[in-house]
Structure 1
Amino acid sequence: MSQVKEVRSLVPARMDRLPWSRFHWLIVVGLGFSWILDGLEVQIVAANGYAHTLGMGPVEVGLAGTFYLLGQVFGALVFGRLADSLGRKNLFLVSLAVYLVGSAVAGFAFAPWFFYIWRFVAGAGIGGEYAAINSAIDEIIPSKYRGRVDIAINGTYWGGAALGAVASMFFLNTEVFDQDLGWRLSFFVGPVLGLLLIYLRRHIPESPRWQMTHGREEEAERNVDAIEQRIREEGHEIGPVDESRAIVVKEYGRVPFLVIAKVLFRQYPRRTLVGITMMVTQSFLYNAIFFTYALVLENFYDVPPASASQYFIVFAIGNLLGALVLGHFFDTWGRRRMLFGTYVLAGLILLTSAFLFHAGVLNATTHTLFWCLSFFFASAGASAAYLTVSEIFPLELRSQVISYVFSIGQFVGAIAPTLYGSLIGDGTDRGPLFWGYVLGSGVMIAGGVISGVFGVSAAGKSLEDIADPLSLVEQAKGGVTPDGAVPEAKGSSRRE
């Protein structure tokens, strides 16, 4: 049996020392645009312009959201596994193509069952994007900027949601389009925008960190050389590499499921608890509110479907601003402190609005303002959930762990649209929805407490300092070997 070659690598140190440049903006736009597409998709479905044509009531509209979310679960699991074994870049165009087809075909729906199938397909494409792209972004962006950039990118979901609201106002306006035609055209907005990403992604390199751990050290070094040359040509100076940051790694290959289980539940059980908790809580709350907000405005405040989009634009902008404004503090004040604050504040504000809603003292405008304030904080915390899961586990299984935790969160969250759609009813009784809001508030507050107590202090640290790669040779430090054995930790703080 041939011996696996060991290599000394400075790839992580070289990537983390890079100054911010146009290259990094390319990564942000080329990869981060997926969240805009997701927000666009969800908003167009939430506007439920198709409901009349397809004969769908509140529960059926909620079910459309559930199928989309279940599709995301399927896509994340499939593409997440492939992204760790075949590379990040190889999955970009595939997952994007799946989304483009699924969204476009849904625009031709003639019955609810047909609509559900293709919403599932579109969700599978977006789910694949979440797993592969979160990994690539965190592996390429310098550690100094990783928190704010990741949170801002995930927060652009709400830019897409706002775009979807504007599109809904236009396409659902029966003075401009026939009722049966407008909603169909709206489903082609995302695919048209998605086609533009194909060109951008051709110029995005494979993750050098992924290459480093898959027996492609020479490719990784050439890759970093090209990135550094590109940044120098932009006029930036690049400092020397700290040789003491070198690591010795060897090719690891495909990670067995047994190894993944041992990493998650034996080596890092608290991190697994934090990741699952964050994903479940934010997914449940967002899906509960987001997929049914139009129904709430229409049934309780008599807001027509086209006008409901106007209220949502304000709501989406509040979410976007939360991620953009608060993201910086995750790098300066720290992850745990900010996770606790954003989750708990969001839950308390939503709880306050629940009591006011039940008392009947809110109108469409004031209810929307409470949502804006609550989700100003919630959006930063929800975006940080993806950041947290991506950075606290070993590189070789990063995409898969994202997909598993994301899938658990979405599976639980997928229940929310149908549940809250049934709680809304015909808008005559506020009691059921009030208790639904109380539940959502409690879930979010619990998530904040758990994240604050068990979270990981990762701000400004290299990914390899947060979690040892499985391929690390020097002093295994609590890592897991390819055969599934877990060696004794030698003073490592990264084994729980």
Structure 2
Amino acid sequence: MTGDSDGTGIKTVKTDLLARLDRLPFSPFHRKVLLVLTAAYFLDGLESTLYGGVLAVVAKVFKITSIESTLGLVLFLVGAAIGAELFGVLADVLGRKRLFMTTILIYGLFTALSAVSFNFISLTIFRFLTGVGIGGEYGAVNSALQEFVPPKERGKWLGFIVGVGWDVGTVIASLLSYFAISRLPISIGWRVAFLLGAILAVFVWFIRRSIPESPRWLLSKGRYNEAEQVVRYVEDLVKKQLGITELPPVQPEDVVIASPRGWTVAKKVFTLYPRRAISAVILNFSETWPYYTAFTLIPVFLISLHVPATVIPLYLVPVTALGAVGAFVIPYLADKVGRRPMAVVAYAVGGLLGLLMAYLYYIKALNLAGLIGMLALTYFFVYAAADILYVMIPEVFPTQLRAAAVGTAVSLGRLGGIIGAFVMPYILVSFKPLPYAALIAFTLMAVIMIIGAIAGVLIGVESKGKRLEELSTYK
């Protein structure tokens, strides 16, 4: 290993470590990393959908209006935005593993406290702090996933596992909230539902202990010996798991070593790659708006069609289940066709289908089955949009800024969910009748998602099949 410095504290070294990591065939080790770390998406999907599923019951228990009860969702999103930015920066400074071990504990603690809330104020505070933990997961988890998975497998597996993790979380949340509030006393059913998340968090924390620190992060900080140890450990493990004795030869390459400190990391995201950073924020904003606000609107639509509040979660199952199918199809095509074209398809088609659904609802051409069918088809693409953006964004930033870039995109992007959670109830209250309000709400959603499709083009780089070091460099 050789190196030189340009006098700015940024040093270039020639090493074969990262090439050795990327040459590895996909193995049980990679599957374990994917499954254990994408628990973050499972828990986010679980928490986001769970609160929507028990919203009507929470409003009854604490004697508040359905509009007031959405404050818990809003504060969850605010907490997620703060956690994403704060812990994203820290994951670039302190390491991936240290942060993804910490954030899962923060999530587990405060979702457990949500289950024992004694009034609505305490519930909203605990939901806010739960959001901090969930948001904090994104930077470290996304970065570690990108930095371990081989380039040729990255889009397919990351998109699929992330999407399925999220969607399985939403399906389980829908079923859990249904059984909890329909089979248990109204005062404790929703508490049991929240408690499950805390139990899962403890389980995930124990399994994550076996995941090593990212060798890319170690090398970027000049910790060569530790990076070498991790790469050698992974090489030996993969060869043993797959029964192979030799790996393809690789050549040393230049790798940048730098340690930006504190909030310099967040600033560098925009100064080094402004177009990518702005596009990443828009992609996240235009995905969180339809995703999070939908679970505020859908219960209102279903109640208007005389669906009892206790069975609303059951009607969300086909919507989230078809989202899981989208999580497989779109990422698979992204590895074949490209990230950018599939992002455009997911965002544009999702928005236009939502608009069509609202129009059919407005002219009273949809019965209950038709509404559920259109919602499911719309969210096939809306969920796929989330899958694509969490593949694209981490790929196009250097290791020194990767977690901060994800954290910043999630943090600012969650404003879509926060603003939408305020705007949607306002539209429902201000415009009558309900079908007219729905048409306005989903027209707005369509416009926002089409803006997201444009951002998918403007991000300016196609990352399909490329090594991370080919896509960006810290300067």
TM-score normalized by structure 1? 0.89
Query: How far apart in 2 are the matches of 1:7 and 1:366?
Result: 60
1:454 to 1:71, Cα distance in 2 relative to 1, 3 A: closer
1:339, CA displacement in angstroms? Answer: 0.9
5+ residue gaps, structure 1: 471-478, 480-496
Equivalent residue, structure 1, for 2:4: none
1:425, CA displacement in angstroms? Answer: 4.0
The residue type equivalent to 1:447 in the other structure is G
SS of 1:242's equivalent in the other structure is coil
1:386, CA displacement in angstroms? Answer: 1.8
Query: How far apart in 1 are the matches of 2:385 and 2:162?
Result: 10
Equivalent residue, structure 2, for 1:159: 168
Match of 1:42 among 45, 48, 61: 48
Query: How far apart in 1 are the matches of 2:221 and 2:157?
Result: 26
1:455 to 1:354, Cα distance in 2 relative to 1, 3 A: farther
Match of 1:16 among 6, 18, 22: 22
Pairs within 5 Å for 1:64-463: 64-155=72-163, 156-173=165-182, 176-237=183-244, 239-243=247-251, 246-250=253-257, 252-255=258-261, 257=263, 260-265=266-271, 267-298=272-303, 300-425=304-429, 428-463=433-468
1:7 to 1:323, Cα distance in 2 relative to 1, 3 A: same
Q: C-alpha offsets along residues 173-224 of structure 1, whole Å, 9 cap, x if unaligned?
A: 1xx3111011111110111111111221011000000000112111111101
Among the aligned pairs, what percent are the same residue?
A: 30
Do 2:266 and 2:408's aligned partners in 1 also have CA atoms closer than 8 Å?
no
Q: C-alpha offsets along residues 430-469 of structure 1, whole Å, 9 cap, x if unaligned?
A: 222210110001111121133135442100001110001x
Which has more helix, going by share of residues? 2
Higher deviation after alignment, 386-395 or 123-132: 386-395
Equivalent residue, structure 2, for 1:494: none
1:59 to 1:220, Cα distance in 2 relative to 1, 3 A: same
1:310 to 1:7, Cα distance in 2 relative to 1, 3 A: same
Equivalent residue, structure 1, for 2:34: 28
Query: How far apart in 1 are the matches of 2:25 and 2:127?
Result: 40
1:336, CA displacement in angstroms? Answer: 1.2
Equivalent residue, structure 1, for 2:3: none
5+ residue gaps, structure 2: 1-6
TM-score normalized by structure 2? 0.93
The residue type equivalent to 2:15 in the other structure is S
CA RMSD of aligned residues (A): 2.0
SS of 2:401's equivalent in the other structure is helix
Query: How far apart in 2 are the matches of 1:142 and 1:92?
Result: 21
1:137, CA displacement in angstroms? Answer: 0.4
Q: C-alpha offsets along residues 46-73 of structure 1, whole Å, 9 cap, x if unaligned?
A: 0113221012322122211100000101
1:260, CA displacement in angstroms? Answer: 4.6
The residue type equivalent to 1:165 in the other structure is S
Query: How far apart in 2 are the matches of 1:5 and 1:374?
Result: 48
